[in-house]
Structure 1
Amino acid sequence: MNTEEVMRLKRSLTKAIEEDKILIILDIMRRFNDEVVATKELLKNTGIGVFIGKQRSHHNADVAKLAKDIVKKWKTVLNGGFVKPNPVNKIVPNPKNVAKQRDNSREEINSPSSLKTENSQNTQSNSSSPSPNNVKTNNGKPYAGDRTFRKDNMKGHTGYDIRDKCIELLYDSLAFDSSAGSDIIFNCAVRIEQIVLDQFKGEPEKQYRDKLRGLISNLKDKKNPGLRKGIVSGEIPVEEFCVMSKEEKKAKDREIKIANLFKARSAGQTQAETNMFRCGKCGERKATYYQMQTRSADEPMTTFVTCTNCNNRWKFC
């Protein structure tokens, strides 16, 4: 339904309301519910969002309920598919002042306040921002330890402030100690956010936020460098990361650390065969081992053991 059709129906609805013709009112409002595809431009140009919103206080219960359903539907569409949670312990205003307060303070439906985030400030100057790949580098490599979404001159992706803000926070968590290309990190952040969005599509926004808050917390943990690097490198699939428990993430990080220590040993490192160690995986006593100084000089050396039967690896100090 285009703007002209919406305005024509709006005039018909206004007349029906003035004459209190309930059946006609319900018929027109059902057409709005079934045929109108809500967009910010359409609601702004026609003012139909505010007009329908006022009918939520209509004296007829059916009209009021239908108006509430339409407003909720349009807000959900404009909010990227999320359902707004019902407020808890809502304060009921004085009935005498309801009409006046609504006229003075209600915002148009095309600008839900829940999507007003600081990300909107970031998008104001995007048109003049350089390409995401134009990142300051050190001898051709991006700096590690001082990288953020904004410093890397990245841009919003989805068009929804709340989603773009989550992608920004994911990017910051993955990038701050990484030297990987900004496009690689950005793609990881986008894929994680999309997976979580698909998990909670049509659910209250709080569930989506809480899930991403937990993932971001795990990624920002300085004790989990292997987890961040594994996701950026592709060693840990983002689909797997999004469903891992906190304990599984820590275990995966420890596994990566051990693997990296084994890889870090010198190419000519001598490995001695021994039967002193029993493999915790297969129970055999056939293994090779070597030692490295992985901590300060006054600390004991770390022993790395590899089972020759099942290739299981472990270390101890």
Structure 2
Amino acid sequence: MNADEIIQLKKSLAKALDGGMTSNVLDILNRLKDNTPTKEVLKKTEIGLIIGKQRLHPNPEVAKLAKEIVKKWRDAVSPSKANNAPNGSTKSAVPESKADTVNNATPGQSPMVNGKKIKRENTQDSLSSSSSDIPTSIDSEKRERSFDRDRPPYKSTNNSARDKCVKMLYDSMVFDSYADSDIILLRAITIEKTVFDQFGRQVIDKYRDKLRGLISNLRDKKNPGLRKRIVDGELQAEDFCTMSKEDMASEEKKARDNEIRQENLFKALGAGPTQAETDMFLCGKCRNRKCTYYQMQTRSADEPMTTFVTCTVCNNRWKEKLSKVC
């Protein structure tokens, strides 16, 4: 399996993980398990990053399969230092006489080789039969990506301020992404250029303030959806650069803000009118009829009044039509 095929599988795996499609995840992992990429392919595709993280997947089958793949690939790219003899037998990395001398050393004393003392740390190195020559992509799944680590092929604008902004935009989108470096770099360059054009192609305070706000929203760890939409191309740079802070907020934050607005509306409208108790309304939350209500004219004079109802049992609030009140 070549690098291009693995990159396609990596994209499919990331999509399946985001969509919670466990069966697809298992299918892709099994396909990867049947192949053993070379060390160069592993470094180029960084497939080990996404595989390594799945060892902590909540699904035990996915976690087990990810561990098996990492172990298989690690063993494949970490050959033993032992040398094979011409007849097929394996020779020790340390001469037999030397090994025997070291093994017979008294605890706490320096080992002796041919009558001479040698440093114990060197002895441990010489006795090692294998090394952990594991690609970075497998052994550093907790490492956050960045511009300096990825080193994408960036062509400078010959303006240090603009170049710094591109790097900061790249860092704000890449730290939790599995997308190719070239794609994220293209998004960062496009966003910076859009803002640069908005302010007359000049690096001024407004240019810096605008990019500072965009970068702050992009690197918000509680808003991964915004980063994903931009990296995937669902949200164009031109539209992103004209969005307000409220528009960039995550769906959870928008829902909380809307709930707070509704709460404040009820409090504001309920400050003046006297609330009356009634059993004419049924609470849709707790199914009780112990409620209080008040009416206010919230629309034009020819429209009926709005009735605001509050359940005294669960504090649920809702609006009712005037026709329900006698």
TM-score interval, normalised by the smaller of the two chains: 0.3 to 0.5
Alignment TM-score, normalising by the size of structure 2: 0.34
Structure of higher CA gyration radius: 2
